[in-house]
């Protein structure tokens, strides 16, 4: 999957957009969808993807859709900032598998950073508990999203 890989309509994020597989949704409008990352790198790790563009990576997307996407990243990042009070927030985007991209539908990661960890890091590591925790964190972020 290099930087010229064509878009695959059956990639996992395309299936999430179609509703064929579930996600823990944070926000959706005509242009973007945001949901919790299933394998979070930190408490509150979320993703923002374009619904209106079928772009594999940053270099495939038109500027209007890129604007929708980056505005969405700011909106969700701001909600995570208020809801979770992290010390910092990383915004990440990987283009090409050599850069670490594993899902070939353009997305931004919003990764809150906590210098001393977060209380929700310390709890039950079972899959059920992890999923319940993601749902709870999503509720906290969702409350702070302004439309």
Single out the residue of 65, 52, 68 nearest to residue 17, CA to CA: 52
Residue 105 designated active-site: no
> Candidates 31-39, 64-72, 83-91, 112-120 — which segment interacts with ligand AMP by CB under 6 A?
31-39
Q: Which of 94, 130, 140, 144 binds ligand AMP (CB under 6 A)?
A: 94
Number of residues that bind ligand AMP (CB under 6 A): 10
Query: Given the complex with ligand AMP, which of 116 and 142 has the nearer CB atom?
Result: 142
Write out the residues near ligand AMP by the rule CB under 6 A.
12, 23, 37-39, 94, 100-103
By annotation, the residues acting in catalysis are 107
């Amino acid at each position: 999957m290099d930087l010229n890989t064509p878009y695959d309509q059956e990639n996992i994020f395309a299936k999430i957009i179609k509703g064929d597989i579930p996600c823990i949704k944070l926000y959706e409008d005509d242009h973007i969808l945001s949901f919790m990352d299933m394998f979070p790198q930190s408490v509150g790790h979320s993703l923002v993807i374009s619904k209106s563009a079928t772009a594999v990576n940053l270099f495939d997307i038109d500027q209007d859709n890129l604007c929708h996407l980056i505005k969405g990243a700011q909106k969700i990042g701001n909600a995570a900032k208020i809801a979770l009070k992290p010390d910092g927030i990383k915004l990440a985007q990987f283009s090409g598998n050599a850069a670490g991209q594993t899902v070939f539908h353009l997305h931004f990661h919003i990764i809150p950073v906590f210098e001393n960890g977060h209380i929700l890091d310390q709890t039950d590591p079972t899959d059920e508990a992890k999923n319940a925790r993601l749902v709870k964190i999503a509720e906290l972020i969702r409350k702070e999203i302004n439309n």
